[in-house]
Amino acid sequence: MEDTIIAAATPPAFSAIAIIRMSGPESLDIINSLLREKLTWEPQKLYYKKLYFADELLDDVVLAYWKSPRSYTGEDMVEISCHGNPFIVENILEACQKRGARLALPGEFTKRAFLNGKMDLTQAEAVIDVIQAGGRLALKSAQAMQSGRLSHELLEVRTELIEILAEIEAYIDFPEEDIEPQVGNLLITRLLSIENKLKSLIASAPLSRLLREGFTIVLAGSPNVGKSSLFNALLKENRAIVSPHPGTTRDTIEAECRISSFLVRLIDTAGQRESSDQIEEEGIRRAKEAVKKADLILYMVSAPGDPSLDPFRLPELDPHQKVITIASKVDLGLHPANKDKLALSTVTGVGLEELEEEIKKILKAFFPQDFSFGINSRQQAALLKIAEAIHKAICGIKNQLAPELISSELRSSLDIVGEIVGLVSAEDILDKIFQKFCIGK
């Protein structure tokens, strides 16, 4: 990269300190042009200085110089720590741009780090996951990816595929010889081992998606059983209108929160009953759709009421969907038939702590004990293609197909492994990945 880029690395808000990053061959020249006294730079040393532009003081700053290749991007870098006033940050950015820097594109610092060999593509993708991690397990997964866990496993797969490919292609040079059954069985065993490893990685994708996007928890039940009150209690704020009149909630209401260390999307729904009101009917339809998409359903009944008289029943659920049955409004009494349910009152607070513990236990159970990281959708799609190609190669060996055909499938697998870690990469793929980043990263 021949040009020099600059961007704020901290959000545009009033704070004690803001950080501006500059990367590229002109970084030192540009910052020197804003200093009134000559400075002999030493890498990784802090300098307290005043920056000027056109004889006007920009700010008192702390400067740090990172010399190529020992920097985040692998290029010469300067980090400017200034007062956290967005007006000051804007002035410094504008001054540096007038001296030759250009404003960085989203993710461009990390893209340069990847292109300069400071990290592979899976590690680069993990940077945004570390920044946006919504809980402890999500952060642990992102950090494992950033440390190179996925690329390490895939490079092991790549090495094994190359060795198997070399054996198979040896038969291409001797067309009069077929792959011996004993050799074929050994190759199949090795390929099955790779296939099992890929299946394990692919199975982590839905779990990774839950960590990034959050669990969907839906509150469902008949009208006036306390769904909106519980929704507000879990959010610890008044988001939904609460009324003693049935049918107050006529649409789904969504909000994000954290329960324990998990990111959660809570959905309050309309009470489900027979209705002739078109607006309420639409709300009930949306409530049913929300239940279908839920990871966890808080199924609510009235604690003092006879559950056999409650007209609402949950539909048939998918195996992965979990349910907690709650006897709400227990402060008004508890029907004997509801004693096996989680008794709760948003008025007195009874049962709220127990409910949160139960939610935490259920969400935690979605993940196996040995879960350490999960792959993203791009990596999942690529691994599915590799698994398919390896399966075809196994069938080819079993059916004694020509070595050239088996070799073609394995070479295809190798190319896709290269695409995942960034050994082979198209510019449009890189653009898609890095445009999700914030500008200063």
- Show binding-site residues for (6S)-5-formyl-5,6,7,8-tetrahydrofolate: 21, 79, 118, 441
Strand 322-328, strand 296-302: pairing: parallel
Specify whether the CB–CB gap between 102 and 113 falls below 8 A: no
Copy the structure tokens of residue 182: 């004993």
Please tell me whether the peptide bond between 319 and the residue prior to it is cis, using omega within 30 degrees of 0: no
**Residue 314 DSSP SS3:** coil
Question: How far, in Å, CA of 436 to CA of 32, rounded?
Answer: 32
Binding residues for GTP: 224-229, 243-249, 268-271
Cα angle, residue 114 at apex, residues 112 and 115 outer, rounded to 5°: 65
Nearest-angstrom CA–CA distance, 119 and 112: 10
Residues annotated in a binding site: 21, 79, 118, 224-229, 243-249, 268-271, 441
The count of residues in the chain is: 441
- Cis (ω within 30 of 0) for the bond into 86? no
Q: How far apart are CA 148 and CA 120, in angstroms?
A: 8
Place of tokens 């190529």: 68
Pairwise CA distance, residues 343 & 365, whole Å: 23
Q: Residues 334, 303: contact at Cβ < 8 Å? A: yes
Q: How far apart are CA 217 and CA 210, in angstroms?
A: 12
Q: For residues 259 and 363, is the Cβ–Cβ distance under 8 A? A: yes
Q: How far is CA 67 from CA 25, 108, 264, in A?
A: 10, 18, 42
Extract the annotated binding site for Mg(2+): 228, 249
